[in-house]
């Protein structure tokens, strides 16, 4: 299958190899939560709700020096093309929950909130490739909406390598093509990588190119997230009458 058209250079959805899908972020979608956000990357739609900092529910896990960060990832029954009844706690969900938790924990200033817990609940409404990245981007927005202090904005993006071309932001069809899939998460201003995952195989020099491409994608998403947060702050300020 031709994932990249050799004549025009367009991918199957009409994008160029280094083009992100259309992204959209919205704050405050779940009224009851302390912070919440909706993030869309193309057809992938994810809602994240943050509850916290609040009292630790399981006292045995309480940490006297820093906040406890917990994360749960769940996919809706209708999120993928074929409708499947998902079991809570299956291995993929547990793994992604762990990945998101570790990535966000690296950025949250947990030492400012000892003996408390912060819950990050991720709900995937539609999955079309790059779900893990969309979840991390949405979690950043939700944590900011909740006013939880963070070191930096964490963003994530995927990149792959098909038809001898590095491709940015794979959708589901490109992801299932069997080529490599590199997921990168960075702390944007500090320019540090906090998440790096890859499956399949890639020669080392090509891997560097693909990873660089993913990092560029992350930085573009970080700029967009910064704009969304700025816009939100302006609205809050005008509502306060400032």
Partner 1 sequence: MVGLSEGEKHFIRGGIAQDLRSDGRKRLQFRSISVETGVIPQANGSARVRLGATDVIASIKAELGKPSILRPDKGKVSIFVDCSPTAAPMFEGRGGEELSNDLSVALQRCLLGGTSGAGAGIDLSSLIIVDGKVCWDLYIDGLVISSDGNLLDALAAAIKVALSNTGIPKVSVLGASSDEQPDVDVSDEEFLQFDTSGVPVIVTLTKVGRHYIVDATSEEESQMSSAISVSVNRRGQICGLTKRGGAGLDPSVVLDMISVANSVSQQLITVLDSEIAAAEASEE
Binding site for partner 1 (CB under 8 A): 29-33, 36, 43, 47-49, 51, 57, 72, 74, 76-78, 81-83, 85, 88-89, 119, 121-123, 125-126
Toward partner 1, which CB reaches closer, 50 or 99?
A: 50
Toward partner 1, which CB reaches closer, 130 or 166?
A: 130
We find the least distance from the C-beta atom of residue 93 to partner 1, in angstroms, to be 11
Toward partner 1, which CB reaches closer, 119 or 169?
A: 119
We find the least distance from the C-beta atom of residue 91 to partner 1, in angstroms, to be 15
We find the least distance from the C-beta atom of residue 141 to partner 1, in angstroms, to be 14
We find the least distance from the C-beta atom of residue 131 to partner 1, in angstroms, to be 14
Toward partner 1, which CB reaches closer, 132 or 179?
A: 132
DSSP per-residue codes, the chain: --SB-TTT--BTTS--TT-PPPEEEEE--STTSSEEEEEEETTEEEEEEEEEEEE-SSGGG--SSS-EEEEEEEE-TTSSSS---PPTT-HHHHHHHHHHHHHHHTTB-GGGSTTEEEEEEEEEEE-SS-HHHHHHHHHHHHHHHTT--BSS-EEEEEEEEETTEEEES--HHHHTTSS-EEEEEEETTTTEEEEEEEES---HHHHHHHHHHHHHHHHHHHHHHHHHHHHHHHHHHHHTT-
Toward partner 1, which CB reaches closer, 13 or 227?
A: 13
We find the least distance from the C-beta atom of residue 54 to partner 1, in angstroms, to be 8
Toward partner 1, which CB reaches closer, 171 or 188?
A: 171
- Residue 141's CB is within 10 A of a number of other CB atoms, namely 26
We find the least distance from the C-beta atom of residue 83 to partner 1, in angstroms, to be 4
């Amino acid at each position: 299958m031709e994932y990249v058209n050799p004549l025009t250079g367009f991918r199957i959805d009409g994008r160029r190899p280094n083009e992100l899908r259309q992204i959209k972020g919205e704050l405050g979608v779940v009224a009851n939560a302390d912070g919440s956000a909706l993030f869309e990357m193309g057809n992938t739609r994810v809602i994240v709700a943050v509850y916290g900092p609040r009292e630790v529910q399981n006292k045995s896990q309480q940490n006297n020096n820093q906040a406890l960060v917990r994360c749960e990832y769940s996919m809706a029954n209708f999120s993928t093309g074929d409708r499947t009844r998902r079991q809570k706690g299956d291995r993929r969900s547990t793994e992604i929950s762990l990945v998101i938790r570790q990535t966000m924990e690296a950025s949250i200033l947990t030492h400012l909130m000892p003996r408390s817990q912060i819950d990050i609940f991720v709900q995937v409404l539609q999955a079309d490739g790059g779900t893990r990245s969309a979840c991390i981007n949405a979690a950043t927005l939700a944590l900011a909406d909740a006013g939880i202090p963070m070191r930096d904005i964490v963003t994530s993006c995927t990149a792959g390598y098909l038809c001898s071309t590095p491709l940015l932001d794979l959708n589901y069809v490109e992801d299932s093509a069997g080529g490599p899939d590199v997921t990168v998460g960075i702390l944007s201003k500090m320019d540090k990588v906090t998440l790096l995952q890859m499956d399949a195989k890639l020669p080392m020099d090509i891997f560097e190119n693909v990873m660089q491409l993913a990092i560029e994608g992350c930085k573009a998403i970080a700029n967009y997230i910064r704009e969304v947060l700025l816009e939100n702050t302006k609205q809050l300020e005008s509502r306060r009458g400032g």
